[in-house]
Structure 1
Amino acid sequence: MIIYKKCLDCGSRETEELKVDEYACSECGRQWTKDEAIDAAYDEINVMKVSYGGFFGGYNEIDVDLKNREVTLDFTRGKTEKTVRALDDKETAELMNMLKEVDILNWKRSYDNPFVLDGTQWDITLKRDAGDLLRSGNNAFPEGWEKFGSGIEKIAQISIFQY
Structure 2
Amino acid sequence: MTEYEKIKKIEAYVGGYFGGYYQVEVDLENNSVSWTTGGEGKLEEIVHKNIRLATAKKFLEQLETLDLLNWEEEYVDPGTLDGTQWQVDLVMEDLTITKHGCNCYPEQWGKFRQAISKITGKPFR
Q: Is the shorter-chain TM-score for this pair beyond 0.5, marking a shared fold?
A: yes
Q: 2:48 maps to which residue? A: 84
Quick one: which amino acid aligns to residue 71 of structure 1?
V
Percent identity for Structure 1 against Structure 2: 31
Query: What is the deviation of 1:83?
Result: 1.1
Q: Is the 8 A contact 1:121 1:137 kept in 2?
A: yes
Q: Which runs of 5+ in 2 are unaligned?
A: none
Larger Rg: 1
Query: What is the deviation of 1:114?
Result: 0.8
Q: Is the 8 A contact 2:114 2:124 kept in 1?
A: no
Deviations 1:122-153 (A, max 9, x none): 00111111210000010000121111110000
In 1: Cα distance, 2:120 partner to 2:19 partner: 19
Q: 1:58 maps to which residue? A: 20
Query: What is the deviation of 1:94?
Result: 1.8
In 2: Cα distance, 1:45 partner to 1:55 partner: 30
The residue correspondences of 1:7-156 to structure 2 (distance < 5 A) are: 39-77=1-39, 78-156=42-120
In 1: Cα distance, 2:24 partner to 2:124 partner: 10
In 2: Cα distance, 1:89 partner to 1:46 partner: 13
In 1: Cα distance, 2:58 partner to 2:111 partner: 12
In 2: Cα distance, 1:53 partner to 1:90 partner: 30
Deviations 1:74-104 (A, max 9, x none): 1122422221111112321221111001101
Q: Which runs of 5+ in 1 are unaligned?
A: 1-38
Query: What is the deviation of 1:73?
Result: 1.0
TM-score (normalised: structure 1): 0.71
Residue 121 (structure 2) pairs with residue 157 (structure 1): yes
- 3-state DSSP class of the match of 2:72? coil
TM-score (normalised: structure 2): 0.92
Query: What is the deviation of 1:52?
Result: 0.5
Q: Is the 8 A contact 1:71 1:84 kept in 2?
A: yes
